[in-house]
Amino acid sequence: MAGKQAPSGNAAKHGADGLDARLAKLGLRRDFDLILHLPLRYEDETRLTPIGSVASAPADVLVQVEGRVLGTEIAYRPRRQLVARIEDDTGILYLRFFNFYPSQAKALAEGVTVRAFGEVRAGFFGGEMIHPRFHVLRRPEPLPDALTPVYPTTAGLSQVTLRTLIERGIERASTAHALEEVLPAAILAPLGFPSRFPSFRNAIDALHHPRPDSNALMLQDRTHPAWRRIKFDEVLAQQLSMRLHYRRRRARTAPRLEDAHALTAQLLKALPFRLTSAQQRAWGEIAADLNVAHPMHRLLQGDVGSGKTVVAALAALRAVENGFQAAVMAPTEILAEQHFRKFSEWLTPLGIRVAWLTGSQPKSERRETLEAIAAGEAPVVVGTHALFQDKVKLAKLGLVIVDEQHRFGVAQRLALRKKGGDGDEAGSGATDRNNAEPHQLMMSATPIPRTLSMSYFADLDVSVIDELPPGRQPVVTKLVSDARRSEVMARIREACGAGRQAYWVCPLIEESEALQLQTAIDTYESLSVEFPELHVGLVHGRLPNEEKAAVMAAFVAGEIQLLVATTVIEVGVDVANASMMVIEHAERFGLAQLHQLRGRVGRGVDDSVCILLYQNPLSQGARDRLKVIYEQSDGFAIAAADLEQRGPGEYLGARQSGAPLLRFADLVADAELVEAAHAAAEVMLDEYPDAARKHLERWLGGRAEFMQA
């Protein structure tokens, strides 16, 4: 049947295991895996070109010729090679092979007729093909009636073998009626089905066997109607998978955190500022989720400095009001410590103990903290990855807050979510703690473009803070060539001499962490000599945590005027007096990093500037990135440009979600299809659940990797 393993012949036969391993390397295990293994490109073997005409063929164009072998020799000029001369009624062509088998020399015997396919170039004796694909014609053979597909493959798996296996898979599926339409007409009709949007069967046929008159350009750039159908089906399968998981998660139990008002109202009253309308909206959405006895799984996203942390603090207080604990996890000690300071500043006056837990704590302090959170004496705990270690026990965990969530893998987020002992039932939100799981709030200062949010974050509810608090100063961005370095030094001296502070961010050297560290040390030493009147500090990822904390504390206190740093300060550093940043070799950084780094300044009342120091010559990619960051301050616009430049795979980085990256659809070029699939998924799950199941089986074969955290 079509859903079974893709047969590669009897497993007992010689070489079958090796073939299966090569197929598995390409992810080809079922017939439908073969069917959905679509061509990279096509070659036209449906026509013959007279040998006399091939010399006029454009460069890089592959042609097919047929002729009789006049003679074949193994020549040594200057290296060993096989040369055959063939002719037809219009001329002579040489076939030249620098690497060949004896069987090839034998096959090209004088007098046989061969059909050869390749690129023709001018040789010393006339036109020639280098390493053409050829076969001997024992009898007249009709030309194929479709373009020849060229598939993605791996070492040891030839195109001929792959084509044969794919054809057999299509035949078996067709015989089993497995290529029939499974999507309802109501889903397909808005897309132009069937006039402009083909059936699944027709799309598969058009892509594996395109006719000679097919639009080659549309096939190549994947805008052909058949490609549009496949892309839609792929995105729809992803949407169905993630929304199905969303519904299953919503069916599980979580503590109901009621709107008690006591502590949240006190915090709002004590704050020296009013929440923006965007913060109020986000907090309202989060509060509504927490008031339901099902796990919240919400992403709070907002630009740098938009005020996400205070909204997270309100959510933590809601847990505490209801007798539960809140755990706040950040990817770096600098960011975690920033949260610890903020949460302590806001919550300690309310009588709430905020615990601090990291891997670098002294043993005695760590033991005391572990005992406090295990006993429930610390309702809020802030830390790094140390929070999800085995020794950490939380008495009654009701809420997990994960900042910069994309930096954590699924296993880490799951480990924290599962923390907590068996607590008592709590009020009207009574919950069996053995079965309940905490609510989860994830935060990101990297805004997510709409199409990405609809696809890879479709299992989440998303709240957006799209408004900066009043008083935030816009940051002026300047592009400065390294040749004008002396002018930058003068600006640093002027700013720090006026009582303000500055960052100097060292270049990103991805190929060598040791070299990057040495560069930071060298920069620190040279700037210390350049500015003897300033106190220059140095912070980097390899610095012991106690030293790192001491340097950052000195910078926060104003004791350090100029801080030399690596990207360890990308997030979590909030120093209002820092009004200037220099990013050296800015062309080496990604857009998201540049935007995050720039967000470290402009947090006070002074005018702020970010100088992007670049070195010529610039690549086109670097030029494009610097242009975007220079012209844009809106994080969402920057994120959209970042997605367009890098594509979703690189943009998402290490997001280990279990949601497969799209193979065919492009989130930028195919935004219309993403929108359509996003809407169709909910309709199918509600009104056509059987069709949804069949579609998931077709695309994922029971291997749907639903997101787990």
**378 pLDDT above the threshold of 50:** yes
Question: Would you say residue 176 lies in a domain?
Answer: yes
In this structure, is residue 437 part of a structural domain? yes
pLDDT at 45 over 70: yes
Q: Are residues 121 and 162 in the same domain?
A: no
Same domain, 441 and 416: yes
Report, as an integer, the average pLDDT of 18-29.
Answer: 91
293 and 367, same domain (yes or no) = yes
pLDDT of residue 13: 42
130-137 long-range Cβ contacts below 8 angstroms, 24+ apart: 130/96, 130/97, 130/98, 131/96, 131/97, 131/98, 131/99, 132/95, 134/95, 134/108, 136/107, 136/108, 136/112, 137/66, 137/112, 137/113
| Shared-domain flag, residues 458 and 595 | no
Query: Among residues 508, 533, 530, 529, which one has the least CA distance to residue 519?
Result: 508
Q: Which pLDDT does position 389 carry in this prediction? A: 77
CA distance 627 to 629: 6
**Cross-strand partners of 7:** none
Q: What is the pLDDT of residue 695?
A: 96
Query: Do 461 and 608 reside in the same domain of the chain?
Result: no
pLDDT value, residue 519: 87
Q: Which of 578, 608, 632 is the last residue of a domain?
A: 632
Instruction: Let me know the angle formed at the C-alpha of 234 by 183 and 219, rounded to the nearest 5 degrees.
Output: 105
Query: Is the confidence at residue 651, as pLDDT, over 80?
Result: no
DSSP string covering 472-497 = PPPEEEEEEEGGGHHHHHHHHHHHHH
Q: Are residues 503 and 454 in the same domain?
A: no
CA 285 to CA 281: how far, in whole Å? 6
Provide the pLDDT for residue 419: 58
Same domain, yes or no, for 434 and 558?
no
Arithmetic mean of pLDDT, 366-379: 91
Q: Which amino acid is at 149?
A: P
**Band of the pLDDT at 657, cuts 50, 70, 90?**
very low
Residues 515 and 590 grouped into a single domain: yes
Phi/psi zone of residue 333: left (φ > 0), alpha (ψ -120 to 50 degrees), beta?
A: alpha
**C-alpha torsion sign, points 692, 693, 697, 700:** positive
- Statement: residue 140 has pLDDT above 80: yes
Residue 418 pLDDT level (bands cut at 50, 70, 90): low
Question: Residue 125 has what pLDDT?
Answer: 82
Which of 226-235, 293-302, 598-607, 643-652 is predicted with the least confidence, judged by mean pLDDT?
Answer: 643-652
Q: Around Cβ 205, how many Cβ atoms within 10 Å?
A: 18
Copy the structure tokens of residue 49. Answer: 């070109």
Residue among 286, 342, 294, 343 nearest 315 (CA): 286
- Residue-level pLDDT at 705: 43
The pLDDT mean for the chain works out to 86
For residue 300, the domain's CATH number is 3.40.50.300
* 694 in any annotated domain: no
d(CA 357, CA 360): 9
Alpha helix locations (H) across 26-101? 31-35
Residue reference for tokens 């301050």: 633
Residues 527 and 437 in one domain: no
Which range, 331-335, 413-417, 475-479, has the best average confidence (pLDDT)? 475-479
The model's pLDDT over 572-586, given as tens digits with 9 standing for 90+, comes to: 677 889 999 999 999
Amino acid in position 370: L
Coil vs helix vs strand at 664: coil
Higher confidence at residue 459 or residue 174?
174
- Residue 237 — very low, low, confident or very high, per pLDDT cuts 50/70/90? very high
Provide the number of structural domains found in the chain: 4
The residues, ordered by sequence, that sit 6+ positions from 534 with a Cβ below 8 Å of its Cβ are 496, 561, 562
Lowest-confidence pick of 77-86, 162-171, 221-230, 424-433:
424-433
Is 16's pLDDT higher than 70?
no
List CB contacts of 369: < 8 A, sequence separation 6 or more: 355, 356, 357, 361, 378, 381
Distance CA 296, CA 429 (A): 14
pLDDT beyond 60 at 417: no
The Cα–Cα gap between 671 and 668 comes to 5
- Work out the percent of the chain whose per-residue pLDDT is above 70: 89
Say whether 137 sits in a helix, a strand or coil. strand
Residues 53 and 23 placed together within one structural domain of the fold? no
35 part of a folded domain: yes
The pLDDT assigned to 574 comes to: 78
Q: Would you place residue 17 in the very low, low, confident or very high pLDDT band (cuts 50, 70, 90)? A: low
Last residue of a domain, one of 189, 221, 253: 221
Strands 501-505 and 578-584: parallel
pLDDT at 6: 55
Residues 193 and 332 in one domain: no
Tens digit of pLDDT for each residue in 196-218?
999 999 999 999 999 988 998 89
Which of the listed residues 632, 652, 676 is the one where a domain comes to its end? 632
pLDDT at 323: 94
Q: Which helix (H) or strand (E) holds 580?
A: strand 578-584
Residue 3 has pLDDT above 60, yes or no: no
pLDDT in tens, 457-501: 787 899 999 887 776 778 999 999 999 999 999 999 999 999 999
pLDDT at 414 over 70: no
pLDDT category at 316 given cuts 50, 70, 90 is very high
Q: What is the DSSP letter of 197?
A: S
Identify how many contiguous H helices and E strands the chain contains and give both numbers: 24, 21
CA–chain centroid gap for 591, Å, is 14
59 and 81: one domain? yes
Residue 247 placed within a domain: no
Q: Is the pLDDT of residue 411 over 60?
A: no
Is 139 a member of any domain? Answer: yes
The verdict on whether omega for the bond into residue 255 sits within 30 degrees of 0, i.e. cis, is no
Count of other CB atoms within 10 angstroms of residue 321: 18
Position 335 scores a pLDDT of: 84
Measured CA to CA, the distance from residue 152 to residue 438 in angstroms comes to: 44
Taking the chain, what is the end-to-end CA distance rounded to the nearest angstrom? 35
Range of the domain at 155: 16-42+151-221
Query: What pLDDT score does 59 carry?
Result: 74
Residue 433 forms part of a structural domain: yes
Among 37-51, 127-141, 266-280, 627-641, the range scoring the smallest mean pLDDT is 627-641
pLDDT digits (tens, 9 = 90+) for 59-71: 778 999 999 999 9
Summarised one tens digit per residue, pLDDT across range 672-682 is 999 999 999 99
To the nearest whole percent, how much of the chain has pLDDT over 90? Answer: 59
Three-state secondary structure along 243-284?
HHHHHHHHCCCCCCCCCCCHHHHHHHHHCCCCCCHHHHHHHH
pLDDT at 303 exceeding the cut of 60: yes
